[in-house]
Amino acid sequence: MNASGWRQAWVGCLLLGLAACRTALPPPEPLPPPVPMTTEQARAAGLDPLIAHLVTSAHRTPAFRQRDTGRHPAQTLTFFGIDPHDTIVEIWPGGGWYTELLAPFVRDWGQYYAALPPVEDPSGDGFFASQRRQFLGKLNSRPDLYGQVRIAEAGRGVSEIVPADTADYVLSFRNVHNWMVGGYESEMFRAFHLALKPGGVLGIVEHRALPNTDLETMKQTGYVTEAYVRELAEAAGFELLDASQVNANAKDSTEHPEGVWTLPPTLRLGEQDRERYLSIGESDRMTLKFSKPRWR
């Protein structure tokens, strides 16, 4: 692939929650005011009450709330097992979809790091610099919620995201395919391992390819096999703790003309078969929980 083609692929593979990807969608219809979930309701649903409260909080961006049915944030974060006292590192938070939940969750007792792509933009088009400005603007707009957020960097050539052995959790949502396009996915997982305390947890949500999908197809479609993610994690020294189907979507065949970007929220084909892809919903996703062993 030449430089121009690589750059186009890189930009095409960037986070699905970003404004650049949402331009294909019409403005979302207004949502009704959020209805807070009581502690009893949350526990009855098997959810962490504080996480459930944040998910239904009025501070969240309405367009972000629109995607809750496809992202299942309360169930996902409850599965990972985060605690308000934890040090949590989110890798490539994009527009801050999960930042709106994680930063307030640990604001008073823990620490949230937003690990952004390096300032040096490898795609050569200024995308990451623009993304960083927008993200920092978001943080500055609500110091009451985000004033304690720390900024870190994660990407090619960054071996130490945060001081070694200090993070309780490293979380990544739909990013592995991005690193695969650049060819440094193994490097990222090694950096996650270094960042985590012994016993710390790596949480991965990623678009799930059919078993035995080849590497090149994964790069082109944005779907990654669960086996390959496990291989990357285990090679870096992690052990699989658990897997959840909370973000599974049985309607998604994963075989679409424009890969994962055929589906919402991107809808890359525009009006072509739009209703069909809307009826499928967001991608089928794996949700994996790994640990850094306490002893070797």
The answer as to whether 176 is a domain residue is: yes
Assess if residue 145 is contained within a domain.
Answer: yes
Q: Is residue 94 part of a domain?
A: yes
Q: Which amino acid is at 282?
A: E
Question: What does pTM read for this prediction?
Answer: 0.88
Residues 99/61, Cβ–Cβ less than 8 Å? no
Asked, as a colleague might, if the bond just before 27 is cis with ω within 30 of 0, I would say: no
Q: Is residue 296 included in any domain, yes or no? A: no
Residue showing tokens 């009855």: 44
Sequence-distant (≥ 6) Cβ neighbours of residue 15 within 8 angstroms: 21, 92, 94, 95, 174, 175, 178
**Counted domains in the chain:** 1
89 lies in a domain? yes
Q: What is the CATH number of the domain that holds 124?
A: 3.40.50.150
CA distances for 230 relative to 75, 86, 166, angstroms? 21, 24, 23
Per-residue pLDDT of the chain (296 residues; tens, 9 = 90+): 333 333 333 334 433 333 333 334 455 455 566 777 888 888 888 899 999 999 999 999 999 999 999 999 999 999 999 999 999 999 999 999 999 999 999 999 999 999 999 987 555 568 888 899 999 999 999 999 999 999 999 999 999 999 999 999 999 999 999 999 999 999 999 999 999 999 999 999 999 999 999 999 999 999 999 999 999 999 999 999 999 999 999 999 999 999 999 999 999 999 999 999 999 999 999 999 999 999 76
| 72-111 burial code (b ≥16 CB/10 A, e <16) | bbbbbbbbbebeeebbbbbbbbbbbbbbbbbbbbbbeebb
Q: Is residue 244 part of a domain?
A: yes
Q: Look up the domain containing 236 and give its range.
A: 3-291
